[in-house]
Amino acid sequence: MGTVRGVMAPELWEDVVRAALGGGRRPVTVARLRGGSKKGVYRLTLDDASTVVVYRWAAAENYWPGAADEPGPDAGDAGRQQHPLSPASGLDLFEAAHRRLAALGVRTPRLYLADGSRTLHRADLAVVEDVPGENLEALLGRDPRAAEPVLARLADTLGLLREHRARYLGRTAPDGNGAAPEARSCERLVVDRALADLAEAAARDTRLHAAEDRLAALVQAHGAAVGPRTEWGLVHGELGPDHVLVDRQGRPVLIDIEGLMHFDAEWEHAFLRIRFGEHYRWLAHDGLDEQRLALHTLAMRLSLVAGPLRLLDGDFPDREAMRGIAEHNLREALALLR
């Protein structure tokens, strides 16, 4: 079937292109795009010079250690990732998120084909629009002023998601319902996740180990300070500027959408503040709960230490970047104790 985590021969994609776009065009070059730790992302250039992007979900494409041993999409509902904060990956989650966002008028790459039959290809895949141009991260680095209208539109998109409310926590399942009923509150889920991430990271770093008890107490204190909530809006879950493309009309285009779920808006904004830095002012929202934001910020910092360190147990290629993410967020977590 071709090389894993590399470039597959163009002829291996001919049936996929025909099913997605009809006859008359064939792929002539294939490039594996950087980024993405749970699925393969490939750009196919066709013989008429047009391009499409293919997402490929397969255990061999997943850089996370142990991913090959996890139940796949053919393992039935019991094998699918149901916990709201579990790693989000898979064609079913992608399709459900794509439908939900399209219904809300949120721009994502157009979907030409979603195929889980494994008859065209031995992995689940989706063929989507190749949005021309750069992502928002590159635009912010090149010309922050030119990025301002995009940021304003992204703030509007966040408002749409935030106001699409439901009385359940979790991801959108293929049938349009919540992916799993959750007995625990949102804040309890975050506290439990943060404590697990702290324990894992503390076992790997002496600085965190020395501060583990104090950080655990801070997590618990933040969780205890949060009041009850019974409705939740939609969040992307990992909305950094690298997960926002910019189309020719200057509209933000959301990608890596599999983690879309009903959850605290503060979870989204904790991540936005970390990833957008000084540009977060365009995305800020006055209606956030400061107690929840404090909890989610600490939990996000711990996740951004434990996750990259775990990823480095495997063969993820951009290793220095992952070490840098872990180190930066470790320092920021410790700073919260001052």
Q: Give residue 182's pLDDT.
A: 59
pLDDT beyond 60 at 2 = no
Least confident segment among 45-54, 55-64, 155-164? 55-64
pLDDT band at 338 (very low <50, low <70, confident <90, very high): confident
Q: Among 19-23, 72-76, 133-137, 268-272, where is mean pLDDT lowest?
A: 72-76
Decide if pLDDT at 142 tops 90: yes
Question: Side by side, which strands form the sheet with 233-235?
Answer: 170-171, 261-263, 233-235
Q: Choose between 81 and 124: higher pLDDT.
A: 124
Q: Give pLDDT, residue 35.
A: 67
Please check the confidence at residue 81 and state whether its pLDDT lies above 80: no
Domain ranges across the chain: 10-129, 136-335
Cβ-proximal residues to 74 (8 Å cutoff; 6+ apart), any chain? none
Mean pLDDT, the chain, rounded, equals: 89
Q: What six digits make up the tokens of 189?
A: 């889920």
Residue 49: predicted pLDDT: 96
CA distance 39 to 256: 10
State residue 199's pLDDT score: 98
Whether pLDDT at 4 is above 70: no
Indicate whether 36 pLDDT > 90.
no
Q: 136-335 belongs to which homologous superfamily?
A: Aminoglycoside phosphotransferase (APH), C-terminal lobe (3.90.1200.10)
Question: pLDDT value at position 181?
Answer: 52
Residue 267 has pLDDT above 90, yes or no: yes
C-alpha to C-alpha distance for 114 and 63, rounded to whole angstroms: 22
Confidence of residue 87 (pLDDT cuts 50, 70, 90): confident
Condensed to tens digits (0 to 9), the pLDDT of residues 147-206 reads: 999 999 999 999 999 999 999 888 866 555 544 455 689 999 999 999 999 999 999 999
Q: What pLDDT is attached to residue 171?
A: 85
Helix then strand then coil, % of the chain, to nearest 5: 50, 15, 40
CATH architecture of structural domain 10-129: 2-Layer Sandwich (3.30)
pLDDT surpassing 60 at residue 294: yes
Q: 304: Cβ–Cβ under 8 A, 6 or more apart, which residues?
A: 274, 325, 326, 329
Mean pLDDT of all residues in 102-121 = 96
- Max mean pLDDT among 31-40, 86-95, 289-298, 315-324 falls in 289-298
**In the prediction, which pLDDT does 238 show?**
94
Read off the pLDDT band of 297 (50, 70, 90).
very high
| pLDDT value of residue 85 | 85
- pLDDT-based confidence at residue 88 (cuts at 50, 70, 90): confident
Position 128: which residue type?
V
Q: Roughly how many angstroms between the first and final C-alpha of the chain, as a whole number?
A: 54
